[in-house]
Amino acid sequence: MELDRFKRIRKNFGSHASWAYWAMPEAGESERARIADLSIFDPNENSALLSTLHTNYVLFGLNVSRGPGDTSEDFRNFHDGSPRGRDYRLRFAIKGTPLWGAYLTDFFVSLVDPRAGRVMTYAREYPGEVARQVGERNRELASVGAENAVLVALGNAAHSLLLRHFSDRQIIKIPHYSSYYKLPDYREMVASEMNRKGD
């Protein structure tokens, strides 16, 4: 990842997107520790940052599940340190896989709702808004250099939208990180999906 492109991505998409890259807990810390640490996205302080980030894969969530007050910092999305947050599960599942360092975004980047069922009802009722989001996500993917990326759906709802609206791309699905699988089981399921793809 070139520094100029990283800065451009931060400026244009940092308010809703992020990277599948997190600070790691230290010995004795909980599984949730350091999940909200955004200092790792400072290329002046983190020499490994730019060599880790990539757009070979793009992980797609369905929508933002927290309000603007929770995601006001650049790259805050998917780095939720609140007691309700389960982003630490995604960190655990993909550390050491080809997904580590990948670009992260949502299908609906300004629709805030923690209930996927309501979001999918909205998608059925407002096809024009869905079409607008598809256009915006295509422009976003092109802008970040992910024209040929494998799209990775986080859960069934995001998967159904990607299959319907990005059918010309390679798409795989992994279980959503908010699922209640035990962490080792969740990691194994993600690994199985990646192995099925051939990575």
Q: List, in order, residues 6 or more apart from 158 with CB less than 8 Å away.
A: 60, 61, 62, 107, 173, 176
136-151 per-position pLDDT tens digit? 999 999 999 999 999 9
Residue 197 — pLDDT band, cuts 50, 70, 90? low
Q: What is the CATH number of the domain that holds 56?
A: 3.40.470
Which residues sit opposite 63 in a β-bridge? 108
- CA–CA separation, 38 vs 15, rounded Å? 13
Residue 68 — pLDDT band, cuts 50, 70, 90? very low
pTM to 2 decimals?
0.92
Number of domains composing the chain: 1
Range of the domain at 56: 3-197
The rounded percent of the chain whose pLDDT value lies above 90 is 81
Q: Mean pLDDT for the chain?
A: 92
